Structure 1
Amino acid sequence: MKRLLALMAALLITLPAMAANADPALKKQVDAFVDSWHDDAAHARMAYFDKMAPDGVYIGTDRSELWQRDAFKAWARKYFEGKKSAWSFKATRRNVYTSGDGKLIWFDELLDTANMGHCMASGVIRKTDKGFEILHYQLSMAVPNEVADQVTELVRKAEATPGSAIH
């Protein structure tokens, strides 16, 4: 985890100088890879987790949802095993960027989801000799500014509820 955090800090410092829109051929490959990853979840295929790096991190919408790949896989198993679908994310827009050497790729995407409505996500992908692997993925619910105060108040109330699992 420390190694990944150090990598992310280094990326934040150096990526603006290195960032470039991915060339169309690479963007097409990344789109196919990420769409395939989302499709694995939509069809409850455990291959979903194979597309994540062993040291990959997934951050969900709940503040308790920060997992390394194997812990995420263990948590999510109940949504995959014996199911037709775990969750369904369909990208409606995706921007793809790359480092100068093309080995690190990052993206942001707008998603339509079956159970949470519109969401946003960002991810970091590493290109290896074997293909792509997801290093980091962060999902967030897209809350319209017009209702943000209402959502914030609901969260405050939930956090203040005695015995709440929210910490």
Structure 2
Amino acid sequence: MKRWLAALCLSLSTLSAWAVDDAVFRQHINAFVDQWHADAAKADPVYFDKMAKDGIYIGTDKSEVWTTEQFRVWAKPFFDRKKAWAFTAIKRNVYWSPDQRYAWFDEQLKTQMGVCQASGVIHNTGGKLEIAHYQLSLAVPNPLMDQFTKTIAEFESTQK
């Protein structure tokens, strides 16, 4: 019983240490995501350490739905050449659960593909933040949508 009480107290103190005011927590999440993007731009393998072991990354192509390990394998050629992708946040909205164990965000990004949008889920383990889910998409202007979808349909018709 004493061990259980000690473990409970330790867990609560760890959790309360992470339960900080909104502005500080938002700043912490923004800094974490900004650094994650900077790690990719530098092709620093620590990028993958910031993802949950059972995390998911969804890229812009419909075939790009990867676990963290699958994404690491796919990205290896980019990281080997020491130049991966450079995403810089234009704007980001951050939200979180009342206990701050989960945060989710949406962002607009300046990328080599033009402006993209993304959303993600971050798990706060109490001692470490980790990307649990990330989805990247192209931001297609509405006036271009008909042309864009027609081009995709034409391309897909040749892929049979």
SS of residue paired to 2:150: helix
Quote the residue 1:140 is aligned against: 137
Quote the residue 1:77 is aligned against: 76
Residue from 127, 133, 155 that aligns with 1:130: 127
Q: CA deviation at 1:23?
A: 1.2
- Aligned residues of 2:55 and 2:132 also touching (Cα < 8 A): yes
Spell out the pairing of 1:16-27 with structure 2 (5 A cutoff).
23-27=22-26
Residue from 154, 159, 162 that aligns with 2:156: 159
What is the TM-score normalised by the length of structure 1? 0.81
Residue from 127, 135, 147 that aligns with 1:150: 147
Quote the residue 1:12 is aligned against: none
Gaps of 5+ in 1: 1-21
Quote the residue 2:84 is aligned against: 86
Quote the residue 2:94 is aligned against: 96
SS of residue paired to 1:150: helix
- Count matched residues: 140
Q: Identity of aligned pairs, percent?
A: 52
**1:118 matches 2:85:** no
Q: CA deviation at 1:82?
A: 2.9
Q: CA deviation at 1:129?
A: 2.8
Q: Segments of 4+ in structure 1 off by > 3 A?
A: none
For residues 115 and 146 of structure 2, the distance between their equivalents in structure 1, rounded to whole angstroms, comes to: 18
- Aligned residues of 2:101 and 2:126 also touching (Cα < 8 A): no
Question: Any idea what the Cα deviations from partners look like across 1:125-163, whole Å, max 9, x if unmatched?
Answer: 0001331000000000000000011100000000001xx
Quote the residue 1:17 is aligned against: none
SS of residue paired to 1:139: strand
Spell out the pairing of 1:43-62 with structure 2 (5 A cutoff).
43-62=42-61
Q: CA deviation at 1:100?
A: 1.2
What is the TM-score normalised by the length of structure 2? 0.85
- Aligned residues of 2:119 and 2:134 also touching (Cα < 8 A): yes
Gaps of 5+ in 2: 1-20
